[in-house]
Amino acid sequence: MQKIKFSKDEGSEFYKELTRKIQEYFESNNIQKYGNNKMVFKIILYFMLVIVSYAFMVTSSDITNFYLFYVGLGISVLLTAFNVSHDAAHGVAVKSKFWNKILFQLSFNLQGNNAYVWGENHNESHHLYTNIEGSDIDVLNNPLVRMTTGQKRCWYHKFQYLYVPVLYLFYSLNWFLFREFLMIFNRSSRTIKITIPTWEIVKLLFFKVFYIGYMIVIPSMLLPFSWEHIIIAFVVNHFLISIIFTAVLGVSHLSDFVEHPEADIEGNLSMSWPKLQMCTSIDYNVDSTFLNWVLGGFNAHALHHLLPNICHVHYIKLAPIFRELANKYHIPYMEMTYTKALKSHFRFLKKMGTQEMPKPLQYEI
């Protein structure tokens, strides 16, 4: 992974005042940056949804109810990831470091994915070097989808805005079946190499087998349905999870408004880290209580990237401070409706497939 050296600019002063104002907000209201009682309720609620959905699924006597509860289980697990896993990975779901670690490990590993692989690289790569190819683990070099100007443009990429939604269906299955295994052997389409400790490889294998056990084997043993129904439910569940996941997160960094900055040969970037976060992230419907509750603040992506040490339950109250200071320092805060963000995402896919060096659109308030 290429180490990047950031420059000082107006983003540096913006971030300095932002952190001061945010600290003043918490002190004046006598509250902490961690999860509050609302967050504790959400943690209990989402874990209970997982448990109840699973209990109803493995005791179903009707095939329609079985499919509904199976899909409900998948959605409950995804909502737990959005609302609990993510904040716990950043150490802010609750105040206790111990319980943050437990919540993160429990909610992530039980999805059949490895908490260590995602947690380490999410914090040390994606948050630090957002959208920088060769430094951000989430920047892919997949031959089927062209996402940066550094990738070779092939003839079929001009159709990617049409076929990518089909590929998105397989996002979750790919993560579970291939993504982490390929990382072990350095065969991943990720643009940085990953070193996974031996113990984490053992855990990775164990939890994938465990996941297959409780999602496929146990239902097959307990339910009066053929194994074909179990497999179909498993695949449909992953398709639905994938669509929701990519629909929520795909628009945040893959947009024709955002930049994919490049450092020089010595690793110097001509902008500050705060400005990098602002020019590479899209926020949508930030003031929506519903989306904050359901998506765990993922719709306030720029805000989260600059304030990852704050629980998402505080985002709506912090948004006015964020907007005011961005305006004061003349740093575009790319905030829009979800519809506009989604259209921008598909324009991005089309431009990357039809233009050699597409330029980001100028964001206008």
Domain ranges for the chain: 10-354
Tokens matching residue 196: 């996974």
**Dist CA 59 CA 199 (whole Å):** 35
Which of 140-144's residues contact partners 24+ apart within 8 Å by CB, and which partners? 140/189, 140/190, 140/191, 141/189, 141/190, 141/191, 142/189, 143/189
245 with 111: CB under 8 angstroms?
no
Contacts of 3 (CB under 8 A, 6+ apart): 135, 267
Say whether pTM exceeds 0.85. yes
Within 10 angstroms of residue 320's Cβ, the number of other Cβ atoms is 12
Q: Tens-of-pLDDT digits for all 365 residues of the chain? A: 667 889 999 999 999 999 999 999 999 999 999 999 999 999 999 999 999 999 999 999 999 999 999 999 999 999 999 999 999 999 999 999 999 999 998 888 888 888 887 777 777 778 888 888 877 778 777 889 999 888 899 999 999 999 999 999 999 999 888 888 888 777 766 666 777 889 888 988 999 999 999 999 999 999 999 999 999 999 999 999 999 999 999 999 999 999 998 888 888 889 999 999 999 999 999 999 999 999 999 999 999 999 999 999 999 999 999 999 999 999 999 999 999 999 999 999 999 999 999 999 988 76
**Dist CA 127 CA 114 (whole Å):** 19
**Inter-CA distances, 215 with 22, 69, 211, 302, Å:** 43, 12, 6, 35
What DSSP string runs through 269-336?
Answer: -SS-HHHHHHHS--EESTT-HHHHHHHTTTT-HHHHHH-TTS-GGGHHHHHHHHHHHHHHTT----EE
> How long is the chain?
365
HSE at residue 160, side-chain half, CA atoms within 13 A, is 23
